[in-house]
Structure formats: C-alpha cells, structure tokens
Amino acid sequence: MVRRMQLVLGLFLVIAVLLVGRLAWLQVVWGPDLAARAQEQRARIYVDPARRGEVTDKRGNQLAYTMQARSLTVSPQLLRRELAQQQDLAMRIDGMARADIDAQLDGRVEDILVTMSEEIPRMIEDSGAITGEVKAQDILEKLQAETSYEVLVRNVDPDVAAEIASTFHGVAADHQDIRQYPNGAIGENVIGKVSMDGQGQFGLEASSDAILSGINGRSTEDVSTDGQVIPGTLRDVVPPVDGSAVELTLDLDLQTYVQQLLEQAKANSQARSAEAVVLDVATGQVLAMANTDTIDPNGNIDRQLAAGKDFENQTISHPFEPGSVAKVITAAATIEEGLTTPDEVHEVPGSIHMAGVTVADAWEHGVVPYTTTGIFGKSSNVGTLMLADRLGEDAYADYLDRFGIGRPTGIELPNESAGLLPAREQWSGGTFANLPIGQGMSFTTLQMASIYQSLANDGLRIEPRIIASVTGPDGKVTDSPEPKRTQVVSPQTAETVVSMFRSVMQDDPGGVQSGTGFNGAVPGYQTSGKTGTAQKVDPNTGAYSNSDYWITFAGIAPADDPRFVVAVMVDQPRSGVEQGGGGGQSAAPLFRDIASWLLNRDNIPTSPPMEDLLILHAQ
C-alpha cells in the first residue's frame, strides 16, 4: 500500500515538474512571441486621410477641390457566413427542425443579398447623392463574390452612406475623398487629375502632388475577437496634415474664352488641333494655356479617350517647327549687333544660295527693294537669310541660347519638352540656311510666347511660371520663387524690334505696304507680331510636305505699351480659322480675337494712331 502511494506521489510529482517546466517554457521562451502575436491580432491601425489642397486661379476661382464622401464596402464571404448564422439561429428559435433549417438556409441568405442589391441603389437614387447609375446586378455579383473585400459603390454622400450601413448588416461606410473639377474640361490640360486612390496622375495634380496631398494621420486601437473596440486602448495618435492650397497664375475667364475659341477654330479650319498661350509681359506669368480636345474629368473617360480627347498639355509637350514666326530672333540679333537699321533698304532677290542650299521666298519675284522692316513685314526668307549671313553662325547660335531655344522653360508642370535644336558643333552646311527662317528646329507654343515676352519686356526674358503662391494648412502663404531673368537684348533694341513688327499687321489699301498678318490687327490699338507657316515632314517621303503645315502666330498687345503676349499654333488646317473657313491660311485672327477680348476686359487705353505707314517696300 505504501509502495503504491509512493508510486502515485512520484507520478504526480513528475507530472507537476513537467507542467511547471512547460509553463516556464511558455512564459520565458514562447511568451514574448505569443504576446506580440496577440497584440498584433488585437491592434488595429486606423488611417485618418489628409485633405488634398485646392487649386484656384489668380482671382480665387476654384479649379480643383476635395469633397468628403464615403465608399460602401463589404466582406462578401464573412457577410454570408454571418447571415447564415443569424438565419440559423432565427429558425431554431422558431422551433424548426434541423432538416428544414438546412433546406432553407441558403435560400434565405440569397434572398437577403437580393434585397440588399435592390435597396442600396434605390436609397442612393432617392437621395440624389451621386451621379451615375448604380446597378443592382453589379452589387449582387459583388455580394456573391468569393472574396474578402469588395467596394459596392464609391462617392456616396456621408449621410446616405451612414443610413445604408446602419440598415444592412455587414456594409461599412469607408471614408473617401472625391476630387472635384467644377469647370469640366476648362484648364484640365493644366490641372490634370488624380487617380481613384488620390494620387496625382496628370498635369499639376502630378507635378505638385507632394504639395497638394498632405500627410495622412494615424492611430492605433485594440479590438476584441468580435470586432468591438476595447475602451482605453487608443494610442499612437498622429493627426493628419492637410495638403497646401495652390494659386495659379491662370485667369479662368480668359482660359475659358481661349479654349472655346480654339475649339471653334479647329472646327472651322478642319485642323488636327489648335493651341494658344497668353503671357503677362511684365511678369512672364501664364494667364492662359489651352489646347483643343482636352478631356472632361467629370465625364466618361473611356468614351472620351476613344473619341480622341486626352489629358495632354500640348502647349508644353508637343514641339513643332515654327516657320517664319522665328524670324524675330534674326531681327533682334542684327539690330542689337548694329548690323542693320529698320529703314535700311536691301535689294532682295527671289532666291538665295547659302551654305550649299538654295532658298526661295514663298512667292515669285525679282529683285525687290525691301527695308529691314519690310523683310519681316513681308516675311521674306531670302531677306532674312541675307541679314543672318551678316550675323554669322556663332553669333546666331548665341542668340538662340539667350532666347532659351533648345531647353525647357522650367514651367512647374510635367512632361515639358525642350524642343529640338541641333548642337552648334553638329550644324552642317545647310543648317544655317534653315534655322533663321524657322526650319530645322522646333519649340513649343510656350517657348514661342517666351521669345516675344522677352522683346515686349524691354529685352528682359523672364522664365514663364504658372504657380503664383502656395498656402499651407497653417495659413502661411509662400510666394513662388523668383524665375530666372536674362537680358537678351537691350531695351532700345527690343523697342525697335517691337515697333518694326507692327508692319506685320499693317494694311495698305494698295497692298504694297501691307504685312502678312493684317487680318490680326486690333481696331484702336497698335499691335506687333509675326505670322508663320511651317511645312510638316511627309512621313511617307521624309521630305517637307507641300500640303500639310503648322500655322503659327505670336503677337504683342498693345505694341506701344506692351501688356500681353499671345502665341497661337494651328496644326494642319484645311481652311481658315474664322467662321465658314475664312481668314486665310493664318492664325492671326485668333491673336486678334484673344487680344481684343483682353484689352476690352481690362479696359486698356487705346493706342495713339500711327502717323504714317511703315515703309516695307521702298519706292
């Protein structure tokens, strides 16, 4: 008996030692890891999204802002399990037999899913809280999905979402921010858009994403196994920092007018596209930057893309050969170097042999006594090359660099092209016979506008900018950094060139002293500018086309007191840009309409009348 008791006690002792050892092992070896796992299972990290900053024009008009909304979400697999448990319990309480419960359970769950799929769209539609159709079939498919997470509907009004979440078991109303673009396609090429997850995709939304997006907040809380928050466990709270607001230099009213004008011009001329940039002369700020076929972010994106619309900002990303609009560089350089004067008379032949290349004017003529002013007013290729030859290749290359040709302007937008300019050491025999007349190089509409801004601003080139200021979430306003400034030519030269190029808009009843852009003149004002017609390269032959052109115009208004620069490009028009295809093969009427609108809107005083016609063709 004693021996048996000793064996039993010994056995209990061994078991006790094993249990104590096991417990010690759990506490010392496995304990920290198990505790960490338990904490990880209980802890929930919640993200408090930062509000994205708004974008406004120079007058405070909203271009983009964020509106709070909710997304209705569900865990389909968990929802169906919980609904099955609820129905199972309800039928057992009603005293139903197990066999009957099993036979009806799936059907009851399916009936609830169908009800949810029908009622949720109805509640949303009745509220008028979102645009677009919410289809019951789409919701039912998501409720039946073999997944752990589905978004039933996005962009739901918070109050409506809360009502739906409280009505239907398993539906959550998750926080969501909706980016609103109240002006539709107006300015969208500049502003861009954000993705569904709130990241900037195009335009300013992409290039200034870090400024606009802010920093999300976060917090940690523990939850029980049934998902209930455990009181007193809130910790590690980091509040969100909202994004900064960005004020652009754009003028919404002007942008709207220019964009609509371009769309009409494209339709009138049957062109592939049209674009324009308006700069403030004194600051270099972009007042309007528009191109045709800009997408409306509020519409059906896929349908618009299929119709040829896009988010491209072609005014900065699609360079083109400028044609004669670039001749102003030769004019400025030769005047600055003292190689000619506005009234010097040149005996200009119909063609010129230069650097192994023969170049002719666009119209046949014998030797004509054009003044320097007339060479540019009549847009003579031959006369321009005669002046460029005086300047020389090295000096001309230097002036191209001063005007910023061949490099991006630094505008605060993505995908800006530097254009195309052959490096000086790569110039061949014919290069210098092409560049001064706007062939063999390319630049964007913004770069074209910048050239004329330099001359309108007493020869001082100010790199164009489109962000005026940034206002942080604390209300502190930060002005944009000062843009780079380059004195391209002297104020005297700039004034002389601007005055000379008034000849382009000059209209002589006899035709002798008329310029190539007389239909771009603004009644009551002196204006200055240059037309351009650049042949496109035929992709089939690799040679310049005789039928497809880029039509350009850049101008200054008023010429006697420069305020605005307007640069326009029309791609491959089949007729004129005015109503019914009128206006000739020129973009000058678009300059006229934009300049007239601005001068009238801003109440700019009219110019003193010109005393006499400028002499283009010496008698």
**In this structure, how many other beta carbons lie within 10 angstroms of the beta carbon of residue 38?**
11
Per-residue pLDDT averaged across 17-40, rounded? 57
Percent helix, strand and coil across the chain, each to the nearest 5:
40, 25, 35
Q: How confident is the model at residue 272 (pLDDT cuts 50, 70, 90)?
A: very high
CA distance 187 to 326: 27
Integer Cα distance of 29 and 40 in angstroms: 18
Over residues 546-572, the pLDDT tens digits come to: 788 999 999 999 999 999 999 999 999
State the Cα–Cα distance between residues 589 and 597, nearest whole angstrom: 12
| Rounded CA separation 539/548 (Å) | 11
Report all structural domains of the chain as residue ranges with CATH numbers, in order of start: 43-70+175-248 (3.90.1310.10), 76-169 (no CATH), 252-470+479-601 (3.40.710.10)
SS3 track for 593-604: HHHHHHHHHCCC
- Tell me the Ramachandran region of residue 459: left when phi exceeds 0, alpha when psi lies from -120 to 50, beta otherwise: left
As to burial, measured by CB atoms within 10 angstroms (0-12 exposed, 13-18 middle, 19+ buried), residue 398 is middle
DSSP 554-571: EEEESSSS--EEEEEEEE
The pair of structure tokens assigned to 59 is 């007058």
- Using CA atoms, how far apart are residues 511 and 225, in angstroms rounded to an integer? 91
Most confident of 50-54, 162-166, 461-465: 461-465
Task: Return the active site residues.
Answer: 324
**Per-position DSSP letters for 267-327, written without gaps between them:** HHHT-SEEEEEEEETTT-BEEEEEESSB--TTS-HHHHHHTT-B---HHHH--B--GGGGH
Contact 583, 591 (CB under 8 A): no
Q: Which residues contact 380 (CB under 8 A, 6 or more apart)?
A: 348, 361, 370, 374
- Token pair for residue 350? 């119909």
On average, the pLDDT of the chain sits at: 89
pLDDT tens, position by position, 165-218? 889 988 888 777 788 999 999 999 999 999 877 888 899 999 999 999 988 888
State which amino acid sits at residue 80: R
For 291-320, b/e burial (b = at least 16 CB within 10 A) is bbbbbebeeeeeebeeeebbbbbbbbbbbb
User: CB within 8 A of 189, min separation 6: which ones?
Assistant: 203, 289, 290, 291, 294, 311, 312, 313, 314, 315
Neighbours of 44 (CB within 10 A): 14
Question: Mean per-residue pLDDT for 610-617?
Answer: 90
Q: What is the mean pLDDT of residues 149-161?
A: 87
Q: What is the pLDDT averaged over residues 100-128?
A: 89
Report whether pLDDT(225) > 60. Answer: no
Which range in 29-33, 219-223, 435-439 is most confidently predicted, on average pLDDT? Answer: 435-439
- The answer to whether residue 26 scores a pLDDT higher than 80 is no
- How wide is the angle at C-alpha 336 spanned by C-alphas 335 and 342, nearest 5°? 20
> Could you tell me the two tokens for 500?
């000379």
471 membership: H or E segment, kind and range: strand 467-471
Per DSSP, the three-state class of 490 is: coil
